[in-house]
């Protein structure tokens, strides 16, 4: 109990410190500082609220135990009933506090950069890439997150070869970080005359948005080329040098952005993607130096294995890490993802706690 109260007090002190920083005029002069501090403050609130309930319940328990000594038998009986109610409630609160006090990934409070690409399956894979993007967009809208498209490449049939977007809001990366990996779709394509089920794949990458303080990019390490934008119509397409391609010379990374009419805006978006990819490369380097067991638990989405199957004929979706199958594919594709996400987070947390690897459920039905 003493440890819980001490940790809660630390969180309350940190919250007050952040509130002081937010009210400091100097904070507003720092790029992104208010947003970053706001996310940190928001991440502390669940712990502080649970801590307040825990303190109140403990105080009630102390009072009830004192009432047991009352000479009035009715008061003593009331005290016993209160103790019977409070003790299990306090036990449940302690479990909640243990979860809230578990050390978090330092990137959890960051925004996320989503990269969705068509894999094997040609046009069908591109069509499903577009559907996956709509699925995540609807989920984001339900949580009141902001979405900003950074770059995309369409196919003639309305699919997406790739799309890169920023999801911005409370707990974005924390919620979506395990979506990275290979997503498999099984269905009959509209162009299939024999009614045969085809299997296609789409790859999803989810990275924490890098901030300027995370990655130091030197101007001399960049080669910036401008060109005329390509793609479907528009007054600025093929008439102005608005498209920007940035090459990071030390790493060889190349990022191109052309969806804005302004060269300046395209350059800013390209730098955001480049900064995020460089941070991801650095994190991969750090992860590779850690134990293989931990990588297998936390980095499962980085393997070239399917993490989830979307079977349209049977209206089911199966997550192969969590071992969960839901027969409500329409709802999932409409953004109803919480049940799947909760199952994956629970499975990965349990594996980390027990020191085991995640057991994958195969699905070749």
Among 206, 176, 190, 197, residue whose Cα is nearest residue 276: 206
Bridge partners of 326? 317
| Residue pair 257/242 in contact by the 8 Å Cβ criterion | no
For residue 316, the tally of other CB atoms under 10 A from its CB is 18
Nearest partner of 128 among 183, 81, 166, judged by Cα: 183
CA 153 to chain centre: 23
Q: How far apart are the first and last CA of the chain?
A: 50
In terms of Cα–Cα distance, which of 164, 178, 223 is closest to 319?
Answer: 178
Rounded Cα distance, 130 and 145, in Å: 19
CA-based nearest residue to 242, from 275, 268, 219, 274: 268
Eight-class DSSP state of 139: H
SS3 assignment, position 253: strand
- Predicted pLDDT of residue 297: 31
Write the CA distances from 117 to 96, 113, 221, 271, 280, integer angstroms.
38, 13, 28, 20, 17
Distance CA 56, CA 59 (A): 5
Domains of the chain: 2-101 (1.20.58), 112-209+297-354 (3.30.70.1660), 219-288 (3.30.160.20)
DSSP state of 178: G
- Specify whether the CB–CB gap between 163 and 134 falls below 8 A: no
pLDDT at 294: 33
Q: In a 10 Å sphere around its CB, with 0-12 CB exposed, 13-18 middle and 19+ buried, how is residue 27 labelled?
A: middle
Q: CB 92: neighbour CB atoms within 10 A?
A: 11
What the block records as the tokens of 22 is 């937010």
- Scan for tokens 């380097």, then name that residue: 285
pTM: 0.61
- Tokens at 337, concatenated: 């993802």
317 CB contacts (<8 Å, ≥6 apart)? 308, 309, 310, 311, 325, 326, 328, 329, 332, 340
Q: What are 284's two structure tokens?
A: 């991969």
Tens digit of pLDDT per residue, the chain (365 long)? 667 788 889 989 999 999 999 998 888 888 778 888 887 888 888 889 999 999 999 999 999 998 888 778 888 888 899 999 999 999 888 877 876 776 677 788 889 999 999 999 999 999 999 999 999 999 999 999 999 998 889 998 889 999 999 999 988 998 999 999 999 999 998 777 687 899 999 999 998 887 655 677 888 899 999 887 765 544 444 556 788 999 999 889 999 988 788 888 899 888 888 988 888 887 777 656 543 433 333 333 333 468 999 999 999 999 998 889 999 999 999 999 999 998 888 787 767 656 666 656 666 55
């Amino acid at each position: 109990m003493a440890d819980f109260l001490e940790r809660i007090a630390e969180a309350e002190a940190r919250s007050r410190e952040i509130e002081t920083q937010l009210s400091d005029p100097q904070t507003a002069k720092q790029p992104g500082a208010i947003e970053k501090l706001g996310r940190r403050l928001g991440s502390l609130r669940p712990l502080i609220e649970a801590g307040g309930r825990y303190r109140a319940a403990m105080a009630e328990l102390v009072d009830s135990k004192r009432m047991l000594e009352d000479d009035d038998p009715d008061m003593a009986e009331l005290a016993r009933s209160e103790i019977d109610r409070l003790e299990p409630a306090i036990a449940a609160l302690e479990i909640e506090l243990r979860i809230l006090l578990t050390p978090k990934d330092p990137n959890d409070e960051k925004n996320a950069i989503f990269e969705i690409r068509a894999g094997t399956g040609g046009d069908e894979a591109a069509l499903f890439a577009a559907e996956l993007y709509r699925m995540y967009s609807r989920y984001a809208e339900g949580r009141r997150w902001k979405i900003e498209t950074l770059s995309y490449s369409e196919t003639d049939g309305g699919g997406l070869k790739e799309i890169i977007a920023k999801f911005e809001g409370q707990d974005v990366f924390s919620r979506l970080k395990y979506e990275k990996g290979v997503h498999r779709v099984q269905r009959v394509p509209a162009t299939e005359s024999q009614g045969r089920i085809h299997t296609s794949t789409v790859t999803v990458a989810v990275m924490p948005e890098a901030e300027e303080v995370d990655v130091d990019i030197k101007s001399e390490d960049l080669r910036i080329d401008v060109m005329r934008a390509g793609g479907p119509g528009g007054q600025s397409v093929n008439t102005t040098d608005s498209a920007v391609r940035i090459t990071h010379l030390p790493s060889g990374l190349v990022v191109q952005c052309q969806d804005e009419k302004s060269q300046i805006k395209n350059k800013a978006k390209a730098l955001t993607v480049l900064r995020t990819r460089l941070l991801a490369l650095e994190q991969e380097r750090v992860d590779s130096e850690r134990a293989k067991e931990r990588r297998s638990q936390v980095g499962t989405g980085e393997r070239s294995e399917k993490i989830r199957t979307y079977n349209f004929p049977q209206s089911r979706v199966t997550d192969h890490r969590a071992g969960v199958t839901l027969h409500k594919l329409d709802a999932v594709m409409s953004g109803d993802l919480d049940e799947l996400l909760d199952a994956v987070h629970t499975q990965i947390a349990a594996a980390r706690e027990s020191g085991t690897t995640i057991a994958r459920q195969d699905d070749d039905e």
